[in-house]
Amino acid sequence: MEIIVGKTAGFCFGVANAINKTIEALGKYDDLCCLGELVHNNLVTKDLEEHGLRFIDNIENATKNVIIRAHGEPEETYKKINRLNLNKIDLTCPKVMKIHDIAKQYSQNGFYIILIGQKEHPETIGTISYCGKNCSIIQKEEEIDDVLNKIKKSGIKKILIISQTTFSLEKFNIITNIISKNIDKDCFIELNNTICSATKQRQEETYEIAKNVEFMIIIGGKHSSNTNKLYNIANENCKNSILIENEQELDLNYLKKFKSIGIMAGASTPEKSIKSVVEMLNKI
């Protein structure tokens, strides 16, 4: 059996940075909490909890030291942290922070901002708070007409399009093409593809591997946006594709019939999860 592991599988810079600095903070502070999951991976969350990190859903439940997760937080959360006089450890991914700065700048310069992303994703919820009053989120093509009507009513002729860092590159291109073709001709569009380069590389590599194997395994949190995008790409290009969080979900007897298996992992998937899957497959 041939096993192909994606070169870009596993932690991206933003995730690795957040985890490493959290571990450092755990050694420094006795009372440390994180607002929401640091990253979307159950194994990482459980490991950090065992080392003393407390996860909270509401900033009001923080006591002394609070971590801002890699996905970032809405602007109002920072104001609450200041009002509560908490010590803030901001581990927002630098690439997400950059999008916040872009959104603020263009909003102040009178642009209508379109954010392409998943409406319920914590990163999108955080980013939209920096976009000012004239903004919209587009997740699906069906929502485009409604947003274009809002832009027309606003009278704004300058539009900025940005994206959630982990959004599907293919879907981003589809949505932006439709907007460009249907928006009023006197409108100026500035397109800033803010999908993270690591996300693009993983999606492209997943596509290439999935086309050339009989079975495809995607490893990562099942509630992780970037991991689910990888699974969708794999499933479109390899009819035998699965999404797992750990090696215990594999059926080795079933996998014996395949001559080639591809492996890709999401940006918040630890190296040990990937190694465990490879070791399990090597038993066949």
Summary count for the chain: helices (H), strands (E): 11, 12
Q: Same domain, yes or no, for 202 and 251?
A: yes
Domain with residue 38: its CATH number is: 3.40.50.11270
Q: Which residue, among 19, 41, 8, has the nearest Cα to 273 in the 3D structure?
A: 41
**Co-location of 236 and 261 in the same domain:** yes
How many distinct structural domains can be found in the chain?
A: 3
Alpha-carbon distance of 118 to 92, in angstroms, equals: 18
> For position 114, what pLDDT does the model report?
98
Pairing of strands 241-244, 260-265: unpaired
The tens-digit pLDDT sequence of the chain (284 residues) is 999 999 999 999 999 999 999 999 999 998 999 999 999 999 999 999 999 999 999 999 998 999 999 999 999 999 999 999 999 999 999 999 999 999 999 999 999 999 999 999 999 999 999 999 999 999 999 999 999 999 999 999 999 999 999 999 999 999 999 999 999 999 999 999 999 999 999 999 999 999 999 999 999 999 998 999 999 999 999 999 999 999 999 999 999 999 999 999 999 999 999 999 999 999 88
Q: Looking at the structure, tell me whether residues 140 and 168 fall in a common domain.
A: yes
Which of 156, 171, 191 marks a domain boundary? 191
Query: Do 216 and 277 fall into the same domain?
Result: yes
Look up the domain containing 146 and give its range. 95-191
Q: What is the pLDDT of residue 101?
A: 98
Confidence at residue 7, expressed as pLDDT on a 0 to 100 scale: 97
**Residues 112 and 80 both lie in one domain:** no
Last residue of a domain, one of 93, 115, 148: 93
Q: Are residues 126 and 75 in the same domain?
A: no
- CB atoms near residue 182 (< 10 Å): 10
CATH no. for residue 112? Answer: 3.40.1010.20
Domain shared by 24 and 85, yes or no: yes
What pLDDT, on a 0 to 100 scale, did the predictor assign at position 284?
A: 85
Q: Which of 123, 205, 245, 247 is catalytic?
A: 123
What does the pLDDT read at residue 280? 95
Prediction pTM value: 0.91
Q: Are 25 and 79 within one domain?
A: yes
Q: Are 50 and 79 members of one domain?
A: yes
Residue 236 has what pLDDT?
97
pLDDT recorded at residue 23? 96
Indicate whether 99 and 147 sit together in one domain: yes
* Residue 123: active-site member: yes
- Considering 93, 111, 133, which residue would you say is the last residue of a domain? 93
Distance CA 54, CA 36 (A): 10
User: Does 155 lie in the same domain as 109?
Assistant: yes
Report how far residue 234's alpha carbon sits from residue 175's, in angstroms, rounded to the nearest whole number: 21
β-bridge partners, 3? 261
Statement to judge: residues 130 and 42 lie in one domain = no
